[in-house]
Amino acid sequence: MSPRSSVLQARETRAALLARGMRIASVEGLEGLTIGRLASDLGMSKSGVLGRFGSKEALQLAVIDEAAAVFSREVVSRARDATPGMPHLAALCEAWISYLERDVFPGGCFFMATAPEFDDREGPVRDVLAALSSVWQNDLRRQALLAVDAGDLPGGTDVDQLVFELGGVMFAANHALRMTRDRRAGARARRAVNRLLTRADL
């Protein structure tokens, strides 16, 4: 095997491990993601998986990073061409709901599934999850502030409250889609978002 083929095969193997890892974690949580489980699922040796990541924590962090890339592609990038401010904020919310409806991950939103495991812990995994959450909330907040500046939201809008309530809508939609299999949850979430964005004098 040529060096180039060897590198390509290594990349493909790593991609397969991360893809499987995201599926496991979205359903069973990051604690359900182990070197042994991943090796068994993909017919590899434990040492083969361990050699690529080094530890369970490093595997978890790599899977989180890959899940963040998926979220960026499936949500953030879908709103990229929208005009900054209200159009961009509305597009982000629509892409977020669509991401939940389309079962991008088998367990629903990867981050809503995994963050509760680490919210009261300390360490690198918790820190990365918290940082990603902050980045996303800041993106929403930035577009909401631009909407206020443009006059699309009332001048007295409490932007932090708006972002908080938008997050609550999405958590409720994810829960309804996963726990009760309510396929109307997406439509309900859209109505809730529309109410928030048309009367956001919170």
pLDDT tens per residue across span 139-192: 999 999 999 999 999 998 999 999 999 999 999 999 999 999 999 999 999 999
26 in any annotated domain? no
pLDDT at residue number 90: 98
10 pLDDT higher than 90: no
CATH code for position 77: 1.10.357.10
Number of structural domains (the chain) is 1
Which residue type, as a one-letter code, is found at position 141?
R
- pLDDT exceeds 70 at position 98: yes
pTM, two decimals, is 0.89
Query: What pLDDT does 66 receive?
Result: 97
Whole-angstrom distance, CA of residue 116 vs CA of residue 103: 20
Would you say residue 202 has pLDDT above 60? no
1 pLDDT band (50/70/90 cuts)?
Answer: low
Q: What percent of the chain has pLDDT over 70?
A: 95
Distance CA 94, CA 187 (A): 10
Helix/strand/coil percentages in the chain, nearest 5: 75, 0, 25
Confirm whether 48 is domain-assigned: no
What percent of the chain clears pLDDT 90, i.e. is strictly above it?
A: 77
Residues of the domain holding 95: 56-198
Res. 2: pLDDT tops 70: no
pLDDT-derived band of residue 201, with 50, 70 and 90 as boundaries? low
Residue 107 inside a domain? The answer is yes
Across the chain, mean pLDDT equals 92
Is residue 14 in some structural domain?
A: no
Distances (CA, A) of 147 to 110, 136, 155, 184, 197: 29, 17, 9, 29, 10
Looking at residue 87, its pLDDT comes to: 97
The answer to whether the CB of 31 falls within 8 A of the CB of 117 is: yes
Residue 132 within any structural domain of the chain: yes
- Domain presence at residue 145: yes
Question: Residue 11 — very low, low, confident or very high, per pLDDT cuts 50/70/90?
Answer: confident
Is residue 142, in this structure, part of any structural domain at all? yes
Average pLDDT over residues 17-23: 94
pLDDT of res. 199: 74
Q: Please check whether residue 180 lies inside any domain of the structure.
A: yes
